[in-house]
A and B are shown apart, each in its own frame.
Chain A
Amino acid sequence: MSDERSETEAPRPTEQPIATSDEERGKRSVSKEDKKAEKLKAKAEAEAAKAAAKAEAEAAKAAKAADDDDKPRLRWKKKELPGGLWLKCEACGETIYKKTLLKGDLVCPSCTFHFTVPGTERIQMVLDEGTYHELAADLEALDRLNFTDSVSYAEKSRRTIERVGLKEALHLGTGEIEGRPVVICVLDFKFMGGSMGEVVGEKIALGCELAAERNLPLVIFTSSGGARMHEGMLSLMQMAKTCAALDELNRKGGFSICIMTNPTTGGVTASFASVCDVTLAEPGALIGFAGPRVIATTLKQELPKGFQRAEFLLTKGQIDAIVPRKDLRHTLARLIDFSERAWSEGESA
């Protein structure tokens, strides 16, 4: 935090703000004591602002640590396993035989912790074998801001593509779930934390349009840190773009399901993920607007147990249901069966 900000935040007690409303005008006749109190309050305010900025910075650092390209947080990854055969559960610390984990849909056999599933594996888990048809797989990010921190965004994007073998963070395609055709979108956390830039936003929008064109249900899996800051406001605009496309799909009578998986935060939660017709979550998934560390450091207090976890959201009325991974495929199929009449209710179709 530079001096400039704190200077602008500094109180200027000799100046009276211009009258704004009757209520404020009433408050304008300040006595000297009030002024003194205000001065103190202003000081506190400046300090609070400083603290908040510091908290944000700290929280951001923590987020970065989780999101760092060179430190994959998915512990079931091969390179983190001693000998490649065993790994430790993030939640209960139990040592798990890797093959058991993979067979069990990446759920800890001991405590049922749901590990984050990369996109390709998710598609295998959810769709009928051999039905996936990927679309727009070649779209790549553009470094339109010439955004450079330690490396340019163009370079970062190139390296990520090379390392993870994907061109972007969203898988878009068609496929079948227990014989029911769907349009599917899967955010992949391993590509820059599943963050949403222009390509991700565009592919979600295309998914909505494809669902409308073919009268298919739209199934979206999310795992994302939010908007991708390397694309600046173009990223923020994707929140509006995806909602515009979803609004159009709704108008045409479409049916959309979002399954929020660990973690789903920021601009993804605050746009398309929260406004699908049915919102499901995987057990234990972290779902929120601000990250828990941002909140903890801003408020300087401990967060309630299980805060922002799927179970917490369910009790607060924020999601429709929690579905364990093993039941997901069948639950989706059953949900889709309830949407048969959806299209006939739309404006067109």
Chain B
Amino acid sequence: MSEPSQSNKSVPSAGMAFERPIHELEVKLNELVELSQGTNLDLETEIGAVRQALAKQMAETYENITPWARVNVARHPDRPVTGDYVATILDDFIELHGDKVFGDDAAMLTGLARIGERRFMLIAHRKGTTIAQRLACNFGCAHPEGYRKALRKMRLAEKLRLPIVTFINTPGAYPGIGAEERGQAAAIAENILAMFGVRVPILAIVIGEGGSGGALGIGVGDRVLMMEHSYYSVISPEGCAAILWKDGERTPDAAEALKLTAPDLMQLGVVDGVIKEPVGGAHRDRQKAMATVRDTILSELALLESVPIDELLAERHRKYRHAGEIPGRFPSVEELDS
């Protein structure tokens, strides 16, 4: 790992193992830039060459990115999280706290949001950015009161006829004593069931980690999109490796086997679209990444709001009733007895 640089320039992160070639070039570039600033040497040619090499390396690395590397990008500490999106892409936001029964789960952010003239209900997993926040948010692992808070706000959205946008970014629902006592499983199940009846459009976007049932608890949507370097999985690659290979070292293999990346899930037919990220991941150009999400929300909501709500609900049901299914594989209920 490199020492933090003395300059105020953005410091290349020590980074993830697969990014090492990128990182080396970034360090080199920084050194050259500092050298040219500190002295009067003209290093423009050299700097240009390194910049070019860096761009090439970045494109190459991210073109051939492995599923496990994507998981690491999805978990990158600099990746934009819900708080960043709220501060950056929303023109107005009124946070509405609490499930009005038990408590206010910081791991679930809910409130009335506006982008331009487009108003909607935002329901989002929150990881926090500062250490204190991350601890308060249990690193994005919501409790039952978080899911119930989400459901309560969905009902409000329904009443106000506002579409719902959800941001999914959780390692999974919180596994703990209180969570079990208060019905973690039931809270998630109730949300999934309820979302089939919510009479407003629902757009779900996986912005980072799509951790199993904890993700699905706010993840039933008319459109479910994944950011290019997010993942969505039935179990964490670590958990899967431990169970099936009995070896944590095989985590990258588990990530590969689970088919948890956006392109794989498009192919399986369980998500509806992929949101492109800047080359090198959302953490390298946060503004651009967030702007893309903003534009996507606007275009998707325009599309969804043009469909009569009864049609939308029927299609929502049909989509999940046959999620990812190979056509003709299963009998219809009429064919059951024959």
Contact = CB atoms under 8 A, between A and B. Distances in A.
A135 B335 CA distance: 10
Nearest to A5: B72
Contacts of A274: 183, 185-186, 189-190
Given A15-B78, A273-B189, A288-B185, A308 B180 contact: yes
B234 interface: yes
Nearest to A27: B130
A239 B213 contact: yes
A24 B130 contact: yes
Contacts of A289: 173, 175, 179-180, 184-185, 188, 213
Contact of B252 (A2, A12, A145, A294): A2
28 contacts: A1-B248, A4-B17, A7-B1, A13-B4, A15-B10, A17-B78, A17-B130, A18-B84, A19-B87, A45-B131, A56-B238, A57-B241, A63-B243, A64-B244, A150-B244, A210-B333, A213-B333, A233-B260, A236-B213, A237-B323, A248-B317, A267-B213, A270-B217, A272-B189, A275-B190, A275-B193, A290-B184, A303-B177
Interface in B160-218: 173, 175-177, 179-186, 188-190, 192-193, 196-197, 212-213, 216-217
Interface residues of B, number: 98
A298 interface: yes
Interface centre among A8, A139, A295, by most chain B C-beta atoms within 10 angstroms, is A8
A267 B185 CA distance: 8
A21 B325 CA distance: 42
A60 B243 contact: yes
A interface bracket (residues with beta carbon within 8 Å of B): 35 or more
Interface of B: 1, 4-5, 10-11, 13-18, 68-69, 72, 75-78, 80, 83-84, 86-88, 129-135, 139, 173, 175-177, 179-186, 188-190, 192-193, 196-197, 212-213, 216-217, 219-220, 232-236, 238-246, 248-249, 251-252, 257-260, 265, 268, 270, 286, 317, 320-326, 329-331, 333-334, 336-337
Nearest to A21: B87
A244 interface: yes
B83 A149 contact: no
A116 interface: no
Contact of B14 (A10, A58, A205, A288): A10
A290 B192 CA distance: 18
A275 B4 CA distance: 53
B180 A290 contact: yes
Contacts of B87: 18-21, 24
Interface string A272-296: 1111000000000000111000110
Given A10-B1, A60-B243, 18 more contacts: A2-B251, A7-B16, A9-B75, A24-B133, A61-B242, A147-B258, A149-B244, A237-B324, A241-B320, A243-B196, A269-B185, A270-B217, A275-B189, A288-B180, A289-B175, A290-B175, A290-B180, A303-B177
